[in-house]
């Protein structure tokens, strides 16, 4: 009797530890747009956003690992691993993985960034169980077979070569190196031919085991989905793989840290025999959690975010000096970048850079005119809503919000924060950021005299 009672108590305690915790993070009207989160034993978080009016669903798994988690010897390992997870598991070959989604008219892909990786599939709502099973199998049961590692190396090297052939892409990697130097944030996400050639099956497998623990993963699904059903299917898939055995595991929270950007006024030039020169002028930005990000979003939109923006009007419309010109922001956990890109004829580089610098200085000194502010707020509000009109975008929003901010904002709250930006808010963030001495990255066939004058643009 005593023994039986003891066994019952032990089982009850174990069951208590294994209970999943579910919260409603955003409450939508009539269930539409409701966001829920369940934390499973083992630390895996499952989030869903329900949109019953559509017939599709997007299922994704976010890994809390990016290229900034790599040592110099592991450069490109995160992206390499992204490729390898499509190559086969104990249950499926690479062909089985791709054909399963193709057979139902779905689409499947993945992407690697500096601070996270995401794998996803978009299917009809009736095929969501298949998408869950396939993607979860990839994340928990990849073989990382030595033959696949060797075969995929050539594919990754071709992707690097393809990127190297596009100076419009390379200049962004160059600018990251200009600002961050030889640090994880300053190195390319893809790695280099040398680092990729140096990766072994063992080093990639260790990287996989370390960073794909359930505590580092976030599951996100959006569309015509039922939260409880998604949780059951995800839990079953991970339990089959033995991935939820650590019942007391604690999920990894958003990144923190302190990253120092290199001194301003740096100029990096990469000589290339291209038809255009590709230039980025920029300076340190703000971390993605900084409350000033809403004002910076409005400022960025007005300065170089559309056809009515200052830079587009001054450089392209009035003077015809460039076809592509825009500004952009990149926010990381502990730092950020603000940059202005332009592609122009090499002979026009000096003129383009002078206009860019003049406009940055002018906005830093005076802020935006009222009509620019109102137009930028309207443009940013509209693009925010229109960018969330499909289930893939919704999945991205809830998954990235959980991973990067640890909170979920409703669309209405996002619009409220954008609309609340004041002229003083923009003027202050413009002074804080644009008042800094810029740095410069250039790719193109510049003469020695042109290259020597580039330092004047950032003086």
Are 270 and 337 within 8 A, CB to CB? no
Sort 210 into a burial class: Cβ within 10 Å, 0-12 / 13-18 / 19+.
exposed
Residue 82 annotated in active site: yes
Residues in contact with 147: Cβ distance below 8 Å, sequence separation at least 6, in sequence order: none
Q: Cα separation of 199 and 361, whole Å?
A: 45
Ordered alpha helix ranges (H), 61-145: 77-84, 94-102, 128-141
Contact 353, 440 (CB under 8 A): yes
In the block, tokens 């926010």 appear at: 331
* Options 49, 82, 115, 152, the catalytic residue: 82
d(CA 429, CA 445): 35
Nearest to 372 by CA among 312, 436, 414: 312
- If residue 311 lies in a helix (H) or strand (E), which one and from where to where? helix 310-311
Q: How far apart are CA 427 and CA 423, in angstroms?
A: 6
Report the catalytic residues: 82
């Amino acid at each position: 009797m005593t023994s039986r009672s003891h066994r019952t108590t032990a089982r009850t305690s174990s069951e208590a530890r294994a209970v999943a915790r579910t919260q409603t993070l955003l409450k939508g009207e009539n269930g539409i747009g409701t966001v829920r989160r369940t934390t499973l034993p083992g630390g895996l978080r499952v989030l869903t956003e329900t949109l019953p009016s559509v017939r599709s669903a997007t299922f994704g798994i976010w890994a809390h690992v990016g290229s900034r988690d790599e040592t110099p010897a592991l450069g490109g390992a995160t992206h390499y691993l992204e490729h390898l997870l499509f190559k086969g598991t104990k249950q499926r070959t690479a062909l089985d993985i791709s054909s399963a989604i193709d057979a139902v008219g779905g689409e499947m892909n993945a992407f690697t960034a500096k601070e996270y990786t995401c794998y996803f599939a978009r299917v009809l709502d009736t095929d969501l169980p298949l998408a869950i099973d396939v993607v979860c199998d990839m994340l928990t049961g990849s073989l990382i077979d030595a033959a696949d590692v060797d075969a995929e190396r050539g594919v990754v090297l071709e992707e690097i070569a393809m990127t190297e052939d596009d100076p419009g892409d390379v200049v962004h990697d160059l600018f990251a190196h200009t600002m961050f130097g030889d640090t994880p944030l300053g190195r390319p996400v893809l790695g280099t031919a040398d680092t990729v050639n140096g990766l072994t099956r063992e080093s990639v497998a260790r990287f996989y085991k370390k960073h794909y623990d359930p505590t580092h993963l976030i599951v996100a699904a959006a569309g015509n989905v039922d939260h409880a059903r998604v949780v059951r299917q995800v839990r079953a898939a991970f339990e089959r793989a033995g991935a939820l055995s650590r019942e007391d595991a604690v999920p990894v929270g958003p990144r923190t840290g302190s990253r120092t950007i290199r001194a301003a006024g740096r100029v990096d030039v990469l000589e290339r025999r291209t038809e255009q020169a590709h230039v980025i002028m920029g300076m340190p930005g703000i971390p993605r959690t900084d409350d000033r990000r809403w004002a910076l979003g409005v400022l960025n939109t007005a300065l170089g975010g559309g056809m009515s923006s200052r830079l587009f009007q001054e450089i392209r419309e009035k003077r015809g000096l460039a076809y592509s010109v825009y500004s952009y922001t990149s926010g990381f956990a502990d730092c950020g970048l603000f940059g202005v890109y332009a592609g122009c004829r090499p002979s026009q580089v000096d003129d383009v850079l002078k206009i860019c610098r003049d406009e940055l200085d002018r906005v830093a000194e005076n802020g935006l005119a009222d009509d620019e502010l109102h137009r930028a707020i309207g443009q940013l509000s509209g693009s925010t809503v229109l960018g969330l009109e499909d289930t893939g975008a919704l999945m991205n929003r809830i998954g990235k919000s959980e991973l990067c901010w640890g909170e979920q904002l409703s669309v209405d709250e996002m619009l409220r924060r954008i609309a609340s930006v004041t002229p003083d808010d923009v003027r202050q963030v413009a002074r804080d950021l644009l008042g800094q001495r810029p740095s410069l990255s250039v790719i193109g066939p510049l003469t020695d005299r042109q290259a020597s004058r580039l330092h004047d643009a950032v003086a």
